[in-house]
Amino acid sequence: MASDAVLWFGDQMSAVPLRNNKAAASTVRSVTVLGATGSIGDSTMDLLRGARDRYRVEALTANSNVEGLAKLAREFGARFAAIADPARLSELKEALAGTRIECGAGESAIIEAAARPADWVMAAVSGAAGLKPALAAVDRGASVALANKECLVCAGDFFMERAKKAGACILPADSEHNALFQALGSGNREELVRVIITASGGPFRTWAPADIEQATLEQALKHPNWSMGQKITIDSASMMNKGLEVIEASYLFALTPDEIDVLVHPQSIIHGMVEFSDRSVMAQLGTPDMRIPIAHCLGWPDRIVGPSARLDLAKIGQLTFEVPDFARFPGLRLAYEALRTGKGATTVFNAANEVAVAAFIAGKIKFGAIARLVEATMNDWIRTGNRAPLQSADDAISVDHVARNRAAALLPQIALKAT
Ligand code: NDP
């Protein structure tokens, strides 16, 4: 690969690094895991467990799982452990008694964990709550493996810009974006035609609209390929997750909505592809295991030895592809609309979806009403005409709050509305 073949990352998006910016990999690197007790956190800790001679844990965080956090902090000899729920501080202190691990509680402690001097930070808090901690890591110029897509969806207007200014290096940890990150280096910006994000299609891929409308929580949580946290699994079933990923890709790689396509690929073996002007299409493949993209981020710019199963294409036999159905999965259409609208619309899309998913989990709305609530909230927000580019985390959080309140207010009528 010619060195200037990857320069468009450097020119346009210096926060996403150049492949040939090789750093010395011989020293022990310090790492912090935000959201250590979650699904991504678990995969990250598993990789760290297998490479103890290369990494030292600076800080670990969780929301309310004191037991899981303390266990990990003890196992890895972390220097700092933070729990978001302030009421759990004494419990955490007790669980860490007899160690030299410092601890803290509340949002400020999670931000402190991110701000501590670790070379590499995994940003895997779920939801919009992950924004401020991720920014704290970005602002001190760390290498940030970004799993939390909400950072970009809610605050993409300024998140990448801030990373660029601080000299932070954003490593895409989401499997599709990590695939694009690996494939994009094969050409330059002018040669790029489009990127293709694949989607498994989720558990309702072949379902009729009436059945999708009535789907239960149990059915929504049965993802065919990936083992993930509850929220993202429901988002995969509605394809809202793919919508979030389209928005994420746009901000991460400075792409227009027309340059991002979604392709349903039920086997989840190809995670992302990039088409160049000569009609070459570069793809990244791997078994559906989040430890593969996380290992790529953890080792970057080198590659570490990963524990995941090797890909056996002969055993898989067939890779199939379908065009996504925007009618049965309106979340995907709404994501493109939000991206085209801009100026906070993607923040509204995400906030309304979080409210809708929580309402679905609580049994307050049907599965089919998730997208209806998101659409109603977006339309309501567009009608008010209060749109401006987001300049700061506070701007994003304020739009997020307004959208959540509007979604909560619209919830009863959406819940009652017959399809
Ligand atoms: P989980 O729900 O499994 O874990 C979330 C983690 O964040 C937990 O450690 C949780 O702590 C912590 N947390 C939750 N709320 C807060 C809060 N308010 N403040 C501080 N910490 C909090 O989520 P996932 O690991 O599945 O996902 C994490 C992020 O990564 C999401 O943005 C998701 O979209 C993204 N992602 C996930 C993928 C996956 O395969 N799971 C794939 C690609 C992206 P506690 O355990 O105490 O609740």
417 CA distance to ligand 1 middle (Å): 32
pLDDT digits 0-9 by tens, 311-347: 999 999 999 999 999 999 999 999 999 999 988 999 9
69 CA distance to ligand 1 middle (Å): 13
With a cut of 70, say whether residue 2 has pLDDT above it: no
Judge if the beta carbon of residue 229 lies within 6 A of ligand 1. Answer: yes
Helix axes 369-384, 330-341, angle to 10 degrees: 20
Other beta carbons less than 10 A from residue 84's beta carbon: 19
With a cut of 90, say whether residue 226 has pLDDT above it: no
Q: How many Cα neighbours within 13 Å face the side chain of 278?
A: 5
What pLDDT is stored for residue 26 in this prediction?
A: 58
10 CA distance to ligand 1 middle (Å): 30
Q: Is the peptide bond before 301 cis (omega within 30 degrees of 0)?
A: yes
For 358, the token pair is: 């929580």
Q: How many Cα neighbours within 13 Å face the side chain of 381?
A: 32
What pLDDT is stored for residue 27 in this prediction?
A: 85
**238/413 Cα distance (integer angstroms):** 20
What pLDDT is stored for residue 418 in this prediction?
A: 60
**21/357 Cα distance (integer angstroms):** 41
**13/251 Cα distance (integer angstroms):** 10
The whole-model pTM stands at: 0.93
For 392, the token pair is: 């700061």
In a 3-state reduction of DSSP, which class is residue 321?
A: coil
Q: Evaluate whether 360 touches 234 at the Cβ level (below 8 Å).
A: yes
Residue with the nearest Cα to atom 20 of ligand 1?
Answer: 63
With a cut of 70, say whether residue 12 has pLDDT above it: no
Mean pLDDT across the chain: 92
In a 3-state reduction of DSSP, which class is residue 122?
A: strand
Phi, psi of 293 (to 5 degrees): -65, -35
Judge if the beta carbon of residue 126 lies within 6 A of ligand 1. Answer: yes
In a 3-state reduction of DSSP, which class is residue 2?
A: coil
Judge if the beta carbon of residue 151 lies within 6 A of ligand 1. Answer: no
Q: Evaluate whether 308 touches 218 at the Cβ level (below 8 Å).
A: no
Q: Quick one: DSSP state of residue 156?
A: H
What pLDDT is stored for residue 419 in this prediction?
A: 62
Picking from 183, 159, 208, the residue whose alpha carbon sits closest to that of residue 396 is 159
**243/337 Cα distance (integer angstroms):** 10
pLDDT digits 0-9 by tens, 80-107: 999 999 999 999 999 999 999 999 999 9
Residue with the nearest Cα to atom 23 of ligand 1?
Answer: 229
For 92, the token pair is: 């955490």
pLDDT digits 0-9 by tens, 122-167: 999 988 899 999 999 999 999 999 999 989 999 987 899 999 999 9
**218/246 Cα distance (integer angstroms):** 26
What pLDDT is stored for residue 8 in this prediction?
A: 38
Domains of the chain (ranges, CATH numbers): 29-174 (3.40.50.720), 208-233+325-419 (1.10.1740.10)
> Token pair 């079933």 is at which residue?
237
What pLDDT is stored for residue 319 in this prediction?
A: 98
**353/361 Cα distance (integer angstroms):** 12
